[in-house]
Amino acid sequence: MVIFSVAFILMAIFLVPILSSLKDDLKKGDFLKPSRLVASMHLVSIVPYLFIVAFDNDIVSPLVRNHKSMVNLDSTIAYYGLIQTLAFISILLGLNSGVTKRIPRFFPYIGITYTRKQLRVSFVMAVLIGLGAFFLFLSKIGGLNYLLNNLEYRTFIIAGNNYLTSLFSCLFIALAILIYSLREKKSITKILLVITLSIVIILVFSSMGGRTSTVYLMLLIVLVFHYGVKRIRKIPLRAVFIVLLMVIYFIAIPLIRTPGSFEYYSNNINQLGKDVRENFEIIFTQTSYVDHYLLIVNYFDIDNIWLGSSYVDLLTAPIPSTLIPNKAPVDDGVYLRTIAEGRDVRPSMPYEELFKSSWPPETLGIMYMNFWIPGVIIGMYLLGIIYKVFYNYMVFSKYSIFSILIYSNVIYSFHLSNLRIVQTLTEITLIIIFFIMFFRIRLDSIYK
């Protein structure tokens, strides 16, 4: 009953910004404002999982349920619910901070003006760079077959190739440019290209064992079309079909990336369909970080928090691991995954001594790990400010393709954990360099 109550209360809290002024926002053409997106992501990733746990505690990872720090699951989830409520209120306060309108006025403005030729050339180059980087990565690690048969070790495989794999994101740039070009001229050819390139992107990133990139792909398509082509004022029926496909995809990927499963399902494709039907709850249990948060609030208290020491790892993050013996991990989720194994760890331990997989802590988790409850409140408030700053930058940039790409990346991916900081800065740097190469840049404010 306690867990069910926590799930219901959080659902009610998350629904407030989603339903608030929805009708007016649809009329005005901006129902995708940051508070609604943030609340929707919280609702989908947290509430269904907790409702399932309320009826079946075994859904919680045994690494969390049986961890030495776990005392009582009900009380832990109740405490987590309180922390999550404080975090969500803090991010909403950050989204409504007055400073969010002043900061983006000093940002450079790129790609506000463009030609059709610029769009065509930049699209082709983005595709070539993205696919070229992917095939080069495959040649370095031993081929696609090796990658698909070792998906459970993808964190280890990618280590040392982060700069190369970051170039895969040029495919997202290409897709965004292609969709954005629909505002100039719509055609069947372009629509087919959008579908084809989307499938290619899904295949590329799914071969890496991840699913979040596919979710980002869907969000990017919606945001670019909504802000760059034509405002969406109602949800089309075809979106229901796409959601169903996404559900199947999200269930299948965790099944495929377990040890030996790719080879097994390759020879028993019908069994994959059966297992997908029998593992429907995976769509919620494998896409939620609640397990991570439960472990964090159990393991950490005022006596063993890290006091910011995990951020020291950022000093060596830009340097390839091949150049630094015993380099600390860029992915701070490796520490949490190692703690889940029953070990006591602290930054900055060498990556080689840690578990070769990750439980991302995101902003709520890493701030709790470092600064306890005050850290969560301050960190989530800052996160809200950052989200709204880049939203306003997009508005001030007159919804240029560059600003939409930056905003979509930040609103979906950015958190105050080391991994997300490095990933987002890498993505933004890549986008900036790419657009400077093909589009005009203005260092002065558009208000001057």
pLDDT in tens, 390-441: 999 999 989 999 999 999 999 999 999 999 999 899 899 999 999 988 887 6
Let me know: does 435 contact 125? Beta carbons within 8 Å: no
Cβ burial of 244 (10 Å; 0-12, 13-18, 19+) is exposed
**Residue 39 covered by a domain:** no
**Residue 306 covered by a domain:** no
Residue 239 sits in which domain range?
Answer: 114-287+399-442
Per-residue model confidence (pLDDT) at position 112: 76
Residue 23 sits at the vertex; the CA angle it makes with 21 and 24, to the nearest 5 degrees, is 65
On the question of pLDDT at 206 being above 80, the answer is: no
**Residue 256 covered by a domain:** yes
Report which of 160, 109, 121 is spatially closest to residue 137, judged by C-alpha positions: 160
Stronger pLDDT, 56 or 267, i.e. the higher one = 56
**Residue 78 covered by a domain:** no
**Residue 198 covered by a domain:** yes
Stronger pLDDT, 350 or 24, i.e. the higher one = 350
Of 142-151, 263-272, 335-344, least confident by mean pLDDT is 263-272
Q: How many domains, in total, are found in the chain?
A: 1
**Residue 185 covered by a domain:** yes
On the question of pLDDT at 146 being above 70, the answer is: no
**Residue 101 covered by a domain:** no
**Residue 300 covered by a domain:** no
pTM: 0.87
3 state SS for 238-266:
HHHHHHHHHHHHHHHHHHHCCCCHHHHHH
On the question of pLDDT at 201 being above 60, the answer is: yes
In whole angstroms, what is the distance from residue 313 CA to residue 417 CA?
A: 11
DSSP secondary structure string for all residues of 267-312: H-HHHHHHHHHHTTTHHHHSS--HHHHHHHHHH--TTT--TTGGGG
In whole angstroms, what is the distance from residue 18 CA to residue 43 CA?
A: 10
